[in-house]
Chain A
C-alpha cells in the first residue's frame, strides 16, 4: 500500500502537464454519452467547461464504467495521468471515490449524488430533483384520464424514493383518485428493460409514464401507444414529439465551470451542495402544446414558488405509507430526512423492494 503510494506519487509527478496552467479534468460516466439522459447531460457540461476555459483545460472521460473495481481503476489511472479534478458522476461510485481520493490527496474529487465523504478532497454535489418531480406530478395528476400513472424506477435509494413520493403527493393533491404503478428495473440505463417496463405499465392501464432511468426507450413506447410521458435529464421531445409533455433537465455546467475555476485558482475546497431550481441545476424542457393553458400556468406558478423559497414540495401534513405521521401541518421536511428516506408516503399501494 505504502509502496503503491510512493509509486503513485512518482508517476503523478512524471505525468505533470507540460503547460502549468492547463488544468486536466476527468469525468467518469456510468452510461454511454449517447444515452440522451443522465450521462449525456454530464457530457454537455464537460463540453461547456471546454468552451469556457478553451486551452486552459484538457478534459477526458471514460464511459460505461461499472461500480467497484472498474471505477477504482479508471479513477486511479486518471489521477496517475495528472488529472487535477475528477467528476465521478454516479451515486454508486461512493466507496471507490473515497478509496482513490485517500491515495491521491492532491487531486480534487467531486462525487455526484453521493453521501460518503471520508477525505478532505472529496466534494459532494446533488440536485433537488424532487422539486422537478413535484411539478411533473402536478401535471400528471391533472392530465391522466385513466387515473393511472406508470413510474419506471431504477434503484430503491433515497434519491429515487424521494422522487416517487414527490410526484405522487402532487398528483394526488389535484386528483384524489390517482394511482401510481412503480416498476423497478435495477439499472440506470437499459433501453430494452425500460421499454418492457413501459409496455407492462401501459397494459395495466397507465396513460402517463414517468421515468427515473436514462434512456429514451420509454418515450418511444409511449409515442407508439399514443399515451403521454415525461422525459428525463435532457430535452427528449424529439424522440416522442406528440407524447412528450415536458421533462426535468439536469443542468450541471454552471457548477462544473465554478469548480474547475476554483481548482485553477487554487481555492477549491470539498463542499457538499444540494442545488435546486433556484440555483439553475434543475430545469424544465419546453412544455408541450398538449398541456392545457391553465395546467401550464399552475405548473409555472409552482416552479416560481419553489424557486422563490415560498413553497417546499414536502410540506406537512404528510403521513408515511403505514399511516404514521411524518410531517405535521406546515412542517417542512428537513434535508437529513429526505437524504435517507426509505419509505413511501401514504396512498402509494405497492412496496419498496426489500
Chain B
C-alpha cells in the first residue's frame, strides 16, 4: 500500500512540475500576477510529493519488502540497517529518484528563501527548474520505475554490491548529487536572465550563494568519493581518472570558473555573457555526467546499470537542455551589455586567467573522457586513453592557474601594476626557489609541484598579513582588523590555502610513495619507508552478512593494523578492507591478498606519503566555500 502511495506521489510530482513550468511562463508572457505567483507553491508541492515518494521507497527497503523489484535486486534481510537505507540510492532507479528529489529541493528553496528576488525572475527560474524536473520524472516513471512490483516475491533479496556497503558510500552520492543538481539552480537563473534579456550586478549577487552551495557540495562529494575509493578499493590510489570521476570533476571545474567570473559581474559589471554561458555549461556538464554514468556508453567500475534505452532517453534530455539553452543564448546574449572595462593586469584579469585555465582544463578532461567515442564516430579509428593522457595534458594547465591564484588577490580591480603586486611575493618566491633546490634530484615535475604548493601557501598568508597590516601596525590593531575582515575574505583565503595543501599532498604522494608486494607467512617482518611491520596472524571471523579473514600487522611502536578480506555469501563477492594507519607524514596501508598456500598470503603494503593532506586540503576548500556562502546569505538578508 505504502509502495503504491509512493508511486502515486511520484506521478503527482510529474503533473505538478508540468504546471509549474507552463503556468508561470505563460503568466510572465502575458503579465498576469496571479499566474506568476503560482510558481512558488507549485515548487513546494512538487518537493513535498517527492519527499513522500522517496520516503515510501526507503520504507520498502527498511522493511525488506521483496515484492518491490528494486528492493529484491538490491537488498537482503541480512544487510545492516544503515546499508538498507543507503541501498535506496545504491542502484539506478533509486539514485535517479534521489536526483529529482534534490532538484525539487532546490526549486523549493528558491521559492522559500528567494523572497528578495524580483517576482518575475523568480517565477521564471522556478519554471525552468520545473521543466528539468518534468523531464527527469518522465524518465523515471517510464524507464526506471523504482516502485515496480515483482511477482512472485522472492524469499530473500540479492543483496547490495558489497563494495557499496560502506559508510563513505552511504554519504557520497547524496552530497555529490547536491552539488551536481545544485548547478541546476544557477542554470535556471541564467535561463531566466536570458529570457529577460538583462543581467544586472544584483543578478550576480542573487545567484552567488547558489553557486557557492553547489560548489561546496561538489567539493565535499568528490572528496568523499575519493576517500572511499582510497580505502575501499584497496589499490592504494585516490584518483584514477575513471570516467565517472571525470564526470564529477568537469562540473566542479566549470563551477569553479563560474564562482570566480560571477564575482567580476557583481563587482565590475563585466564578463556578463561569459558568466551566463558558464552557468549553462556547468549544468550541461552535470547532465553529461549523468548521461555518461547512466547510459553505459562508457563502461566503468561505477556504473550500476548499462541500458541503451535509458541511455537514449537521457541523451534526448541532454540534447534538448543543451541545444535549447544554447540556442536561447545565441538569440538573446547579444542583447546583454557589459559596461565595465579592465586591463589584463588587474583583479579581473587574474579572474579571467582563472576562467581560461579551469575551462580549458574541463575541456581537456571532457576530451579525454569522450575522445574514444568521438574519434570512432568520425573515423572508425579506435583508441584508448588512460591516466598518461591526463597527466600530460591536464596537469601542466594547472601551473599557470596556480600562479594566478597566488598573484590575483594582490591586484586591484580595473588596473594595476604587476611589479608592485609581485613585490609582495618576494619572500614566497625565494622560498619556492629554496624548496626547489633542496628537493632537486627527484623527478623535476614533482619537485616543481612541491615548490609551487609552498609558494601558494606563503602567497595566501602574505596576502592575509597585508590585509591586517601585520607588523605594520601594533599586534592588537592587526587582531582587530582581522576580526573585522568579511567572512568572504576568509573564505577566499582558506579555500586558496586548501588548494595549496591539496597540491602538497597530491604531489607528495606522487613523489614519495612506495609499495611492497610479497608472499608472507605470520611472523614475517616487512620493511617499508623506514618502518618495520610484523605480519602477526590471520584469523577467521564472522560479520553480520559476511565471513572475513582478518590479517593483523604490528608496527614497531606496537600499533596494530588490521586488514580484512571479506566474503559476502548472498552477493557471492569478495571485498578487501584495507588496514590503515593514518599519519601526517604518510599512511601505512595494508592489504591482505589471497592465500597462496597453507599459512602463506599475498601481502601488499603501501606507504602513501602525505595523502592525508589531500583530504585536509579539499576539506579546507569546502570550509572556505561555506564561509563565503554564509557571508553571502548575510548580505542578502540585509
Q: Do A and B share a complex?
A: no
List residues of chain B with CB under 8 Å of any chain A CB.
none
List residues of chain A with CB under 8 Å of any chain B CB.
none
